[in-house]
Structure 1
Amino acid sequence: MGEQTQKPTTKKREVANMETAITLNMVQKKLQTFQTKVMEDVQKKMDVMFEELVQEVRQYEMQSNEFKNFRQHHELWSNRLTNQMEVVDSTTKTVTSEVKERKTETEEHDKSKKKLPDKVFVPRESYLTCLLEVDHMKAIYHVFVAVLLLLLLNVSANDYFEEGRVNFGLNTIKGGFRGIHYVLGVLVVKNILAFGLFYAFRIWAAVRFSLLQNKVLCSFWNKSCLILFISFQLVFGYVGSMLCIKFNLPFVSSSVLLLETVRLMMKMHAFVRTNAGRQLQGKLKGDSKVQVMLPKFSSYLYFLFAPTLIYRDEYPRTKQIRWKFALSRLSEVIAIMFVYSYVHERYIEPLFKKYGDEEITKASLSVKIFGMLMPSTIIFLCGFYLILHSWMNFAAEVLRFADRMFYKDWWTASNYEAYYRNWNIVVHDWLYEYIYKDMYNHIFKGSKLMSSLTVFFVSAYVHEHILGFGLKLFYPIMYVFFGGFGVFFIAMTKNLPKQFGNFVVWFTLISGNSLMIALYVMEYYARQNCPVGDSFLDYIKPVSWSCNGLTEN
């Protein structure tokens, strides 16, 4: 009986032991599988980290060797510093000294408000000038030059076989610069008036100094001269705009007159704002007066022609003029003029010249707008290279202006805030120094948002003003795109990943510029081909929306 009881118990133990062994074996296999997967994942991550490390080392070596200008003087690409830097001028090298401590100039009630940094001028080349020293980038430059020559050959062949003569797009260039002699005459007068502002400012400073002890008269004199200066600026801009219509100037000539007018207005404002601020800081010390030194006319004259909108009594200068470099930049300006002529004759005119005379369907309109993708991109990129690189570097070289940072690497921007900040350093500096800082310090009292919005709307208005009077129409597309969508895209792209953000910036730039240019061109030709009334409402109403309205087919 006891033996019979022991046997089932032994069997149960054996079964339990077998089940335990099977369970342990299963757990062991799962642990081995888990360990294998973990090791595979770890190995993959290690491989990825190793590849990234190797890539970083390669990039560091390339930057150290081929892009050495960026690594050796990386601090020089900083546009504004809160601390002052001492810079030793050299034609090829720039040596920076240790940063000196600056005394704070803010009042007691402004100490809680962050002091905005100042613009720093140091000798440095433009980004593309440094990049084109690398053989790889130089090869890309040669590709573009080769494409340009092939385009000119294409134009020559078409002109010869279709019209029996070679034109090279000169008819378009001549038509664009029609009336340029009027423009040059007006600009001579405007420059003389700008020269006269220097002596008017000296008169204001001298009279103010004599009235310092009489606060009432001094305040009246200051306010009267301020109103007079604002009125002078408004009339200065108004005359330039009205003469575009008076002389019926084409777009290119109008743009030259309007851009030069705006440039001189910005220069005069910068000079008066900077030096008036210095004079107003001069105070009475007891019974004696403290007179602030006035700038020399030579400093003002150089500033009027220097490729910057920020006034300084002195700028870093190069020791000599590199005439080969200057002539190369000037030849690029001339070459891009022919590229624009080619784009106008081969793309814009065939697509839109008959707009308003022909029946437009939704399908044909879509084809026209998408047909502007490539020419609009050419206009956008060539416009940047023409003005901000070629022309600015030519002017800087001739004037021995050493600070060539007219733009930064906007093409790598991953958000629109970086794009706007780096696209046009020259204008951005002026807006920051004389609009943003004044709004931030005096009007909105530390509000960055309101100060930034003011900058956007001022910039959008000036751009729209130039396009509107240049094309002789009111069609505020630039204002909507720049002042509306531009602000929206800053918020939308702020936190995007770097690579995806850069793609979004380029996609929206290409598509947005194409749509904007197409809309302006359609409105321009619609006003040429369709009857337009003389009333104010007819002037502001878009003609392209109603002239030969769209059909469904």
Structure 2
Amino acid sequence: MTDRNIACAQDVPSNQINALPSEDNMQKDSTQLQNSPFELNYLRERLLGLENILLKDFKKRLDEEIEGVVQELRQHELQTNEFHGFAKPQNTNTWSNRVPLAKETPNGSKGSTVGLEKSTNSADNLKNKHKKQPRPLPDKVFVIRESYLTALLEVDHMRTIYHIFACIFLILIIQSISYDYLTEGRVYFGLGTFKSSLQKIQYVFAIWLLEHAVVFVLFYAFKMWATVRCKLARQPALQSFWSHSCLITYISSQLLLGYVASVLCLKLDLTFITSSILLLESTRLLMKMHAFVRTNAGRVLAGKLKVDTSPSPNAVDATEDNEKSTHIVRLPTFQSYLYFLFAPTLIYRDSYPRTSHIRWKFVLARFMEIVAIAFAYSYMFERYIKVQFSNIGVEELSPRTFLLKLYSMIMPNNIIFLCGFYLILHAWLNFTAELLRFGDRMFYKDWWTSSYYDVFFRNWNVVVHDWLYEYIYKDSYNHIFKGAKLPATLLVFGISALVHEHIIGFALKLFFPVMLCFFGILAVSMIYLLRTFSKRVGNFMVWLTLIIGNGLLFSLYPMEHYAQVNCSRTYEHWTDYFVPTLWTCYMKQ
């Protein structure tokens, strides 16, 4: 053996030396390979093929990493030079919506869930010691920050794009005025559409006031429940009966409030706009009520959030049997509750970060945008929706005509979609936030850059998504599905799709579950389908499916509505209500 072989043999354990191949065996194997050129060539081809595959894969991954690093450097440079406030360290990122529960919130206190976890006694800890606990989910954080578009419009390039759209809108107004004057000799300014859409708005306002009265009563009812519950601390059976009775009453009141708002849309024969206002406001109040009760009920049930021996008018004494000290559960004041009802958020906190003053120029600019988009909607309705669909049920609708109507409405419908986003999530919420000096303006994130649908749904409407995440997803994840994310996610999508379909169905007074199919079935499927694409292709597919989906969505509902208006039908069986009028109108023999 050579010196190299001897050195290698010294490193091998003695019990494995005999297992090593000898030089004679190695020479025999080499001779066999030389004597069999077919096996040698086959082995060489396989090795070369493996080498090519590894090199291609390595080159592809290397190119992707280099491209990603270059793009991140360019983006960081752009953010640093142009987009003020966008480039910050990750731990202090302006656009971070949540923080882990183990970390402290910006005001130096732990999250409410952390307090609840720490309030459990040692016996419960020993009991649950060997149980598998779900991974803690991050908590919502509120900080003072502007909306994405507000920050982006500080850049000259983005401000120029904003001016371009403003010019296009001005041209549309001039075109509408010219058309009305030249064809009919008068100018409408879309006032006819406003007048017809806002009929019986006084009834909606009266119902809105009554609903707020019910929501105000909830605060004092909750305070009474907490007070009586603490007084019944030494009678567990009676305390449990009282709490369960109040829970049933609370759930019944929520269902009754939603039922009354839905039925009144039918009984009063409200228009689509007035019905939408009533149903959206009722849904908002129901979500606010649940947020308040869910957050503060946890505090009362824990009973050890705040230790304080001094009396307080807004405190409830909760005496523990196994402790001699008195624990004070501080309930929120009515002022905090009232501010929460009108604040542009659905997550309850006793206080929120507030700005120092109201920027009245900012308020005026947002109000003018709200008025402008309202007139744009009037224009879109009169020039596109009414023209294309008002004769559905009267005129002949062949497959060719049907497809032409759908294709002609794709772009107008997507303009309606984008204007709706800007109207509600940017202009209106920033308008109310500025008047209330509400500091956290992250009502949406950069959803337009989403490459996957799950990211799109998280960033599209942060206000509603935060509520679904905090009070549906987290509770079902922690208490129902015990750490299983998929069923909790499907539950969130199912509830959201049903609520959207409920609002649209009662506003239009029809059952036509297009939103339920698109949002609850197709959108969930697209979440998993788009994960196989790269980010660029994924963003393209998100926009392609959004454009096609919105084009169909905002066309099918008006078609069904006008079919009900123009086609009389009878309902002989309860199943007839689930058959679209559009089908029965054109499929008659």
- For normalisation by structure 1, the TM-score amounts to 0.86
CA contact (8 A) 2:105 2:141 kept: no
CA contact (8 A) 2:83 2:152 kept: yes
Give 2:407's aligned residue. Answer: 370
CA distance in 1, matches of 2:69, 2:236: 68
Query: Which of 515, 540, 547 in structure 1 is aligned with 2:585?
Result: 547
Q: Secondary structure at the match of 1:533?
A: coil
CA distance in 2, matches of 1:445, 1:52: 37
Distance 1:426 1:49, change over 3 A: closer
Shift of 1:447: 1.1
Give 1:142's aligned residue. Answer: 163
Which digits, 9 at most, give the CA deviation of each residue in 1:243-298, with x for residues without a partner? 11111111111000000000000000000010011101117152655341111000
After superposing the two structures, state which structure 1 stretch, 135-144 or 528-537, moved more.
528-537
Which digits, 9 at most, give the CA deviation of each residue in 1:508-531, with x for residues without a partner? 011011111211111000000001
Equivalent runs, 1:118-517 vs 2, <5 Å: 118-282=139-303, 284-286=320-322, 288=324, 290-517=327-554
Q: Please tell me whether residue 69 in structure 1 is matched to residue 105 in structure 2.
A: no
CA contact (8 A) 1:245 1:472 kept: yes
CA distance in 2, matches of 1:396, 1:509: 29
Which digits, 9 at most, give the CA deviation of each residue in 1:205-256, with x for residues without a partner? 1110111111100110010000000000000011111111111111111000
CA RMSD of aligned residues (A): 2.6
CA distance in 2, matches of 1:68, 1:287: 54
Which digits, 9 at most, give the CA deviation of each residue in 1:55-88, with x for residues without a partner? 7655433211111210137612111111445548
Which digits, 9 at most, give the CA deviation of each residue in 1:372-394, with x for residues without a partner? 10111011101111100000000
Shift of 1:537: 3.4
CA contact (8 A) 2:99 2:105 kept: no
State the one-letter code of the partner of 1:81. V
CA contact (8 A) 1:359 1:550 kept: no
- For normalisation by structure 2, the TM-score amounts to 0.81
Give 1:81's aligned residue. Answer: 99
Distance 1:220 1:361, change over 3 A: same
CA contact (8 A) 1:160 1:166 kept: yes
CA distance in 2, matches of 1:510, 1:422: 18
Q: Secondary structure at the match of 1:69?
A: coil
Shift of 1:543: 0.6
After superposing the two structures, state which structure 1 stretch, 278-287 or 433-442, moved more.
278-287
CA contact (8 A) 2:85 2:94 kept: no
Counting aligned pairs with the same residue, the percent is 54
Give 1:18's aligned residue. Answer: none
Shift of 1:534: 4.5
Distance 1:187 1:52, change over 3 A: closer
Shift of 1:48: 11
Shift of 1:474: 0.7
CA distance in 1, matches of 2:517, 2:154: 39
Distance 1:97 1:314, change over 3 A: closer
CA contact (8 A) 1:360 1:550 kept: no
Which digits, 9 at most, give the CA deviation of each residue in 1:6-47, with x for residues without a partner? xxxxxxxxxxxxxxxxxxxxxxxxxxxxxxxxxxxxxxx999
Distance 1:321 1:525, change over 3 A: same
State the one-letter code of the partner of 2:505. G
State the one-letter code of the partner of 2:201. I
State the one-letter code of the partner of 1:331. M
CA contact (8 A) 1:76 1:124 kept: yes
CA contact (8 A) 1:369 1:514 kept: yes
Distance 1:199 1:350, change over 3 A: same
After superposing the two structures, state which structure 1 stretch, 142-151 or 541-550, moved more.
541-550
CA contact (8 A) 2:564 2:582 kept: yes
CA contact (8 A) 2:501 2:515 kept: yes
Give 1:115's aligned residue. Answer: 136
CA distance in 2, matches of 1:246, 1:191: 21
CA distance in 2, matches of 1:148, 1:139: 14
CA distance in 2, matches of 1:435, 1:55: 37
Shift of 1:548: 2.6
Shift of 1:498: 0.6
CA contact (8 A) 1:299 1:314 kept: yes
State the one-letter code of the partner of 2:470. E
State the one-letter code of the partner of 1:293. R
CA distance in 2, matches of 1:409, 1:85: 26
State the one-letter code of the partner of 1:538. D
Shift of 1:111: 6.0
CA contact (8 A) 1:360 1:549 kept: no
CA distance in 2, matches of 1:156, 1:414: 41
Which digits, 9 at most, give the CA deviation of each residue in 1:292-329, with x for residues without a partner? 11110000000000000000001000000001101111
Q: Secondary structure at the match of 1:290?
A: strand
Structure 1 gap segments, 5+ residues each:
1-44, 89-95
Q: Secondary structure at the match of 1:356?
A: coil
CA distance in 1, matches of 2:334, 2:222: 11
State the one-letter code of the partner of 1:78. S
CA contact (8 A) 2:144 2:440 kept: yes
CA contact (8 A) 1:156 1:168 kept: yes
